[in-house]
A and B are shown apart, each in its own frame.
Chain A
């Protein structure tokens, strides 16, 4: 009797969660995978055609290259800057104010931030009034304005990645700062007394103590950036060689109404993210034991 009751309770607690996971996660994922093997309007079976397209078309190859750029520079930028800010802010008197300012872009939506930065990057020919802040500064110092969003593949992609870093550095800083404050001060003092310089304290004591937090923040940023869409869509829409995977998926789905291709790209994006998630879960399990 007791056992039966227990089963009932288990079902009661897990049931709704299972139901929602099935309806909102499992079913759509499986459905997407099935559609990815079908044609444009999901009527005919086309085998691997959509996947072959995804790995061979020039646009998709550009998108993969750009996503890789985002992955490396956005992740390094947000986590690196976040770490730097966390440690530097700890040493100053107006720490709260500084952190608030750095965290503030987080409150702006991606689209809002992109619109703002599009103005900052605006290009006007040299003999007219510059309305873009960045080019105005350059002109002020005697340079000639640059088409920030147009010249690729480095300048425009970096201009976009910078916007992402601007938004997310504050988030990384807050998490890393909490971890930094969790390191016992005595540990660092002991190191300094033993004759370690600041760099050695940083690499030998601070980094190892914050390892798990850094890993979590990094993986979160990786998952974040693999799905990058808003900034690119608003600022260039993938023109001038700034295309990314998610924007391409959006175009194939909603603009060209090619459901097969869009689904194939979605599945690829999903597969790319899985290893990172697995890493995260493994780490979490490791911490428990």
Chain B
């Protein structure tokens, strides 16, 4: 008798669990992303706002090793509903394999076209579909400096590369070190160096050649690519130009690399990094005031004909399942409401045109948004746009090896060999 009661109780419990899972399944969506710390806090606020308005539960799975986890989950037939796409290359790979949902059927497209500059749609387009929504952008072509230290030494912001070279020479003759660079980023080490080279490529070879290079229409051993590496190498491989010399360049974490600018006494004077570095500066030195204690100028032009183009990156979200709740969340992410929370918390730059500029935490961010808006030439981060084996494989490693003292020709030949086989094996689009 007792036994049968227990059996009934457990059967009811089991049914209850199954029922609960079935009911909640539709009302819970999962999002996979790489965010932690400040970024996760900001995204949590975005998710909470959505949860409060819709009653749908949103779960966030954070991992710094997103490609690994995503590959495993896809193979297991259990992808997250929404994924943070870390690069254009990744978006194209997933779209090609049919893992992403075309957002043209999901979003209110007339409204979207009104809210977004055409470039954001183009950047998320693969074949005829649109597979990503940009929720914020980062401007990369920025040189950070310490205005007080500059003023104290009488250093003037350079307007072109000749000025820059004169400035560097002046600093060196004063016994100062011009640059602070850090390439270490755990398993992603090397990417800050690729940004340098991309910025230089845009300025020495122009946007058209830049595109050819990214699409591997010109080889890595091309003179123009070589020159970009050399300009970077003259700085990063020379102890008189860069703080701590090449070993420190490779050993310093990208987030800490800016600190020599604010040391007492100042150890280095300039740092080239994207807009997001402000959050690292503020974390490490909470007393510093944006605009007063740290400021930026645009990475100067090198060849007059190509001017000062803007290199950038952006946070992109993709949809992986057909759940109505997930679609609803994507529509929310495209709205100025969601993006205002995200950009105001982080000091990132908004992409939706309806975002009120007043949400930016300080003038500096507003100024960066202005740089992006006024850019005549904008290009997306090149290493993020290449297939992963090149962009976040050989290119990252190659930069690190080059700074470490390896001969440039062999570095470029190595990257070219990887690029060659990646493209000819049908890995990339032709």
Question: Which A-chain residue is minimally distant from B186 (CB atoms)?
Answer: A237
Complex Cα distance, B69 from A254, in Å, reads 8
For window 396-413 of B, CB contacts with A under 8 Å fall at 397, 400-401, 404
Is A253 positioned at the interface, with any CB of B under 8 Å from its CB?
A: yes
Residue of B68, B247, B417, B421 with most partner-chain A CB within 10 A: B247
Is B285 positioned at the interface, with any CB of A under 8 Å from its CB?
A: no
- Taking CB atoms, residues of chain B closer than 8 Å to A122 are 251
Stretch from B125-133, B225-233, B332-340, B385-393 at the A interface:
B385-393
The secondary-structure label for the interface of chain B is helix
Is A240 positioned at the interface, with any CB of B under 8 Å from its CB?
A: yes
For window 46-105 of A, CB contacts with B under 8 Å fall at 53, 57-58
How many residues on chain A are close to B (CB under 8 Å)? 30
B248 and A257 contact, CB distance less than 8 A: no
Q: Mark B320-338, 1 if CB is under 8 A from A, else 0.
A: 0000000000000000000
Is B97 positioned at the interface, with any CB of A under 8 Å from its CB?
A: yes
- Taking CB atoms, residues of chain A closer than 8 Å to B389 are 255-256, 258
- Taking CB atoms, residues of chain A closer than 8 Å to B427 are 40, 258
Complex Cα distance, B392 from A10, in Å, reads 54
For window 175-217 of B, CB contacts with A under 8 Å fall at 186-187, 189-190
- Taking CB atoms, residues of chain B closer than 8 Å to A125 are 243-245, 247-248
Is A233 positioned at the interface, with any CB of B under 8 Å from its CB?
A: yes
B67 and A254 contact, CB distance less than 8 A: yes
Is B426 positioned at the interface, with any CB of A under 8 Å from its CB?
A: yes
How many residues on chain B are close to A (CB under 8 Å)? 34
A257 and B93 contact, CB distance less than 8 A: yes
B251 and A147 contact, CB distance less than 8 A: yes
- Taking CB atoms, residues of chain A closer than 8 Å to B243 are 125
A251 and B267 contact, CB distance less than 8 A: no
A253 and B71 contact, CB distance less than 8 A: yes
- Taking CB atoms, residues of chain B closer than 8 Å to A128 are 244, 267
Residue of B251, B389, B414 with most partner-chain A CB within 10 A: B251
B404 and A240 contact, CB distance less than 8 A: yes
A240 and B401 contact, CB distance less than 8 A: yes
Complex Cα distance, B67 from A41, in Å, reads 15
Is A239 positioned at the interface, with any CB of B under 8 Å from its CB?
A: yes
Is A123 positioned at the interface, with any CB of B under 8 Å from its CB?
A: yes
Return 24 A-B CB contacts under 8 Å, by A number.
A39-B425, A39-B426, A40-B425, A41-B97, A57-B417, A58-B414, A123-B251, A124-B248, A125-B244, A127-B267, A147-B247, A150-B250, A237-B186, A237-B187, A239-B190, A239-B400, A240-B400, A241-B401, A250-B68, A253-B71, A254-B68, A254-B72, A256-B389, A257-B93
Q: Residues of A at under 8 Å CB distance from B?
A: 39-41, 53, 57-58, 122-125, 127-128, 147, 149-151, 233, 237-241, 250-251, 253-258
Query: Contacts A240-B250, A255-B392, A258-B427 given; 7 further ones with Cβ under 8 A?
Result: A125-B244, A125-B247, A147-B247, A149-B251, A238-B397, A253-B71, A256-B388
